[in-house]
Amino acid sequence: MHNYSFSWLMNLGHKVPVSIVGGTGYSGEALLKILLRHPAVRIDRIYGQANAGKKIGEVFPAFTGVLTTTIEQYHLTDTGSSELFFLALPSGHAMEIVPELLKANKKVIDLSGDYRLRDARIYKQYYGQAHTSHELTHEAYYGIPELDGAPGHGLSLVANPGCYPTSAILPLAPLLKEGLLKNDTIVINSLSGVTGAGKKATQEMSFAEIDSSVKAYKVTGHQHIPEIEQALSAFTGKNVSVTFTPHLIPIRRGIYTTIVADMEGSVTSADIAQTFQEYYGTKYFVRLRGEQAPEIKHVVHTNFIDIGWNVDAVKKKVILTSAIDNLIKGAAGQAVQNMNILFGLPEETALH
């Protein structure tokens, strides 16, 4: 593993060459926008099967005159000079190419769900297919930087967390860890903009179907349920169980999550504030809103998560709320945050 430091990169003018596989989706576009302003990164290649042969500006006109890269079809035998690959692919595709990238001594940050779940049986249950390289899951770093800190020396594979899990895990983890909440009566409801479903055109994602409406989906079997439970259980050392219901709302981007949990004993708003301050007081991308509920409009196009809380002392309930941009803190921004940590750069580089 290269022992990078920010000062070394900047003083010698070294830029880490990176490629994006799946660079023409929503997360890929968000990645490109961030990486173009990153002082320590050089965009090497952009891969996209459907748009291969086109200039990136033909797919995303905003890049015209800014980036002239031609989109390529990805081939396992040609990984170029890139040191790091971002995989912004639908789940089920990353596991086909990650083993070869690691054999070629490349570093990988996977934005899909392929390397998040430790149990191959649960992966098959929730993703509907067998995992072909599941042994690598145990080598992957599940990267929520605010909780897990820096990845270990020599790390090559980062499993970037899902957008819904990020919005739920960060509010819950400290309170569960410190014994303020019961770990088996947690109810999570999340509202997401339509970009969270990816770019593939379907009738249910069309404007005519979504406009002026709200609907729940995958009510009992969403793939992020085991991800949330696994991450919280690992962090707290407790067997955490959640009920999670996602909803689609007629906005382009953003996630709003409301969590209701039973208190463990007597808990006050001040107790919650103190716990959050201990865990997140020095974390740049976590903004604590107290009893003021966060709003999506304050986090879109940023890598922040805003967290609010209220206490119902009569019913002995804690209500947590959070807001993130699903394409930034929920995907591309957190991926770059993990990249910064991986290469010894300040976490907030290019993410202000």
- Would you please indicate which residues are annotated as catalytic (active-site) residues? 163
Side by side, the strands of the sheet bearing 305-312 are: 215-216, 242-248, 186-192, 255-262, 317-324, 305-312, 286-290
**3-state SS string over the chain?**
CCCCCHHHHHHHCCCEEEEEECCCCHHHHHHHHHHHCCCCEEEEEEECCCCCCCEHHHHCHHHCCCCCCECECCCCCCCCCCCEEEECCCCCCHHHHHHHHHHCCCEEEECCCCCCCCCHHHHHHHHCCCCCCHHHHHHCEECCHHHHCCCCCCCCEEECCCHHHHHHHHHHHHHHHCCCECCCCEEEEEEECHHHHCCCCCHHHCHHHHCCCCEECCCCCCCHHHHHHHHHHHHHCCCCCEEEEEEECCCCCCEEEEEEEEECCCCCHHHHHHHHHHHHCCCCCEEEEECCCCCHHHCCCCCCEEEEEEEECCCCEEEEEEEECCCHHHHHHHHHHHHHHHCCCCCCCCCC
Sheet holding 141-142, edge to edge: 41-47, 16-21, 84-87, 107-110, 157-159, 141-142
